[in-house]
């Protein structure tokens, strides 16, 4: 088994390597890949140093699985080339998420949509992944009419440049600005670029991707995405209008039984999810579970997850794991 990671020297790429070390995919040859300017660098994998190679060189090695985290333009150009040679491509960019016929996958929810001929598989947006992990079981049991979500997104979601701006500001160092405003001791109500309708690209991704992954275009989703000066992960305040009546105890029991979800919900004891404590975890944490008495069948939740883990690297590696375990790769 040959597994390539494209963007191996980047923030998410390095996290993918760490998750690959933790999740056993069997005997494999690891191929770190990056741009020509990064070729020749060394990355460590399972105690050994590996030399980063270019995309052209990786293509000649015919890997069975290639995980991309190098941006949409790179994925658009190179993912089809690997797919044409028989590889399964798992892409972490936005390049393929809206493409009809290309699966958008969170393994716990909809891995079964992947067919043998689906050689490009899209990894959803980080905020979407943690949201649908909670919404999907609720939709199966109670049905969902509408979702209103406000995201509080870590600077790690912007990669190294966003983190560097925050670090420089905290140290009082003048440096390049990634965000349009100071991010330290501030909240920026913009994640992504603004579109013509007043929403940002991050907000639109949440709406579209949620419906595609759950498989129901009738779910109405509206979002506000906010950048916050934290490192540990993304947080979401979620208001849900369900179709059928529920008890809060039912919701807690349902979510507690879901793989990959950890319920932390004892507010009186100060127990609820916080990004400071989710960093490095592959799970999605949910708390502040309570009824919204202003509408029929209304529910409020607070969801937190490490956006570099389940929101990106872990989900991608879990897709690779599914491809192997399901027999799609022989």
| pTM of structure | 0.95
For residue 82, pLDDT over 90 is answered with yes
Side-chain half-sphere exposure of 285, counting CA atoms within 13 A: 25
Torsion over CA of 220, 129, 261 and 239, rounded to 10 degrees? -30
Residues with Cβ within 8 Å of 176's Cβ and at least 6 positions away in sequence, in order, are 161, 164, 165
Sign of CA dihedral 215, 219, 224, 230: negative
- Whole-number Å distance between alpha carbons of 205 and 247: 30
Residues annotated as catalytic are 126, 234
**Which residue ranges form the domains of the chain, and what is each CATH number?**
2-124+312-325 (3.40.50.720), 127-307 (3.30.360.10)
Torsion over CA of 74, 68, 15 and 123, rounded to 10 degrees? 110
Which region holds residue 238: left if phi is over 0, alpha if psi is between -120 and 50, else beta? beta
- Where b means 16+ CB within 10 Å and e means fewer, 210-244 reads bbbbbeeeebebebbbbbbbbebbbbbbbbbbbee
pLDDT in tens, 15-66: 999 999 999 888 889 999 999 999 999 999 999 999 999 999 999 999 999 9
Place 208 in a pLDDT band, splitting at 50, 70 and 90: very high
E strand spans, the chain? 2-6, 29-33, 42-45, 48-51, 65-68, 88-91, 120-122, 144-154, 220-228, 234-242, 261-263, 284-292, 298-305
**Average of per-residue pLDDT across 199-225:** 97
pLDDT in tens, 230-282: 998 999 999 999 999 999 999 999 999 999 999 999 999 999 999 999 999 99
Question: Phi and psi of 38, rounded to 5°?
Answer: -100, -10
């Amino acid at each position: 088994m040959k597994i390539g990671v494209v963007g191996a020297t980047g923030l998410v790429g390095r996290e993918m390597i760490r998750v690959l070390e933790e999740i056993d995919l069997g005997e494999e040859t690891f191929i770190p890949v990056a741009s020509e300017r990064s070729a020749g660098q060394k990355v460590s994998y399972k105690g050994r140093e590996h030399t980063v190679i270019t995309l052209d060189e990786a293509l000649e090695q015919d890997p069975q699985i290639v995980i991309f985290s190098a941006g949409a333009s790179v994925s658009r150009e190179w993912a089809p080339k690997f797919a044409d040679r028989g590889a399964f491509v798992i892409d972490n960019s936005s390049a393929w998420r809206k493409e009809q016929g290309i699966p958008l996958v969170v393994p716990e929810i909809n891995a079964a949509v992947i067919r043998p001929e689906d050689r490009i598989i899209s990894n959803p947006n980080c905020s979407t992944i943690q949201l649908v992990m909670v919404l999907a079981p609720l939709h199966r049991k109670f049905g969902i009419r509408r979702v209103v979500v406000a995201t509080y997104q870590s600077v790690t979601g912007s990669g190294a440049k966003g983190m560097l701006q925050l670090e420089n500001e905290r140290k009082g160092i003048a440096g390049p600005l990634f965000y349009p405003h100071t991010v330290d001791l501030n909240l920026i109500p913009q994640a992504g670029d603004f579109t013509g309708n007043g929403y940002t690209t991050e907000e639109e991704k949440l709406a579209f991707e949620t419906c595609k992954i759950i498989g129901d275009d009738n779910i109405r989703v509206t979002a506000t995405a906010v950048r916050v000066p934290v490192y540990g992960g993304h947080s979401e305040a979620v208001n849900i209008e369900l179709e059928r009546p529920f008890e809060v105890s039912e919701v807690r029991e349902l979510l507690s039984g879901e793989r990959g979800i950890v319920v932390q919900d004892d507010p009186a004891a100060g127990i609820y999810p916080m990004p400071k404590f989710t960093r490095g975890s592959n799970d999605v944490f949910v708390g502040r579970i309570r009824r919204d008495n202003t509408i029929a069948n209304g529910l409020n939740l607070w969801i937190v997850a490490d956006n570099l883990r389940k929101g990106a690297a872990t989900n991608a590696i879990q897709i690779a794991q599914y491809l192997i375990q399901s027999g799609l790769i022989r």
